[in-house]
Amino acid sequence: MKKLLNTLYVTTPDAYLSLDGENVVILRDSETLLRLPLHNLEGIITFGYTGASPALMGACADRNIALSFFTRSGRFLADVSGIEQGNVVLRRTQYRVADDLIKSAAITTNILIGKLHNSRWVLERALRDHGERIDAQRVKAAAHGIAEAVDSLRRADTLESLRGIEGEAATRYFSVLDELILQSKDDFYFRTRNRRPPTDNMNALLSFAYSLLAHDMAAALRGVGLDPYVGFMHRDRPGRRSFALDLIEELRAVFADRFVLSIINKKQVVKSDFHTQENGAVRLTDDARRTFLNAWQTRKQEEIRHPFLGEKIEWGLVPHVQALLMARFLRGDLDEYPPFLWK
């Protein structure tokens, strides 16, 4: 199980990835920085534009190692995937369901119930742990509004109505997210969600976390034989991993947002870890990205009890479990898709 967490993050500027025998080799100006056996890896994420050799890309495809390319700021560029796992029947079922708006809406309902449940839980947890340090009335009101939105989801029957309910609930959640930032309020604050590019430190951290989470989910979906590009809530768009974006909705608040809040409140990131570009985009420095990734991997190794399985697993395995549950649902082994409902 721990092997699923073996991901290599390459953040060194101007690094080039190549293949030597059964090893991935990280080079910079012809100097070898790292050599690592491929059999130890499930994924490679590289940040930068220098690239990787065709031989390494082929080896990763053959071994079903997820190789993903991001810009230095954390924006997804492309990935390499090999032979699809599973069977064509499962993928054809996925495509048929995606073309059926009624069935897509039913699955989307469960996904969004998971998202709003977990968003509310994050706020409730903040009230319990830090009620005296935050505006409790505002946070309670937002949590109550999200709870009402969950009830509304169960009565909605179209993708458009579901998206509208989710959008209003997300506005409530984000309206009080700033309350959960307890340290360095002058440097870390949340006014509104902005991206492409992020224009403040908090949004830069959130965007980076969401990119990493989407990578993990896409790899998990490929691992069970599903197509990460064909989703039910996020519709088809060239180059967009719509299905991965669908399934990370349940995990954004409870994993990514809580992680970002944690490293801010523990002062693992500080103002000097960011720089602002001429176009106003706020980016993490190279050293800060390494700090972020180390903490991210540590968090992924923490054990939790999966709410549906009732078994202890590591946080990093949650995308793989949810992908497997989705595959079982599409095969007809489950009556409905069970979203990740954190307690």
Q: How far apart are CA 287 and CA 206, in angstroms?
A: 17
pTM for the full model? 0.80
Determine the Cα angle at 174 with ends 198 and 169, to 5°: 125
Of 210, 140, 135, the closest CA to residue 179 belongs to 135
* pLDDT tier for residue 202 given thresholds of 50, 70 and 90: very high
Per DSSP bridges, beta strands 66-70 and 76-80 are: antiparallel
Res 2: pLDDT? 30
Q: How far apart are CA 212 and CA 248, in angstroms?
A: 10
- The average confidence (pLDDT) of the chain is 87
Q: Tokens for 145, please give them.
A: 């509004």
Contact yes or no for 165/153 (Cβ under 8 A): yes
Res 162: pLDDT? 94
Q: pLDDT, tens digit, for every residue of 240-250?
A: 899 999 999 99
Q: How far apart are CA 340 and CA 343, in angstroms?
A: 10
Per DSSP bridges, beta strands 7-10 and 43-47 are: parallel
Does position 86 have pLDDT exceeding 70, yes or no?
A: no
Does position 236 have pLDDT exceeding 60, yes or no?
A: yes
Does position 69 have pLDDT exceeding 50, yes or no?
A: yes
Contact yes or no for 93/230 (Cβ under 8 A): no
CA dihedral 192, 193, 195, 198 (to 10 degrees): 50
Does position 73 have pLDDT exceeding 60, yes or no?
A: no
* pLDDT tier for residue 8 given thresholds of 50, 70 and 90: confident
Q: pLDDT, tens digit, for every residue of 254-284?
A: 999 999 999 999 999 888 888 888 788 888 8
Q: How far apart are CA 162 and CA 74, in angstroms?
A: 29
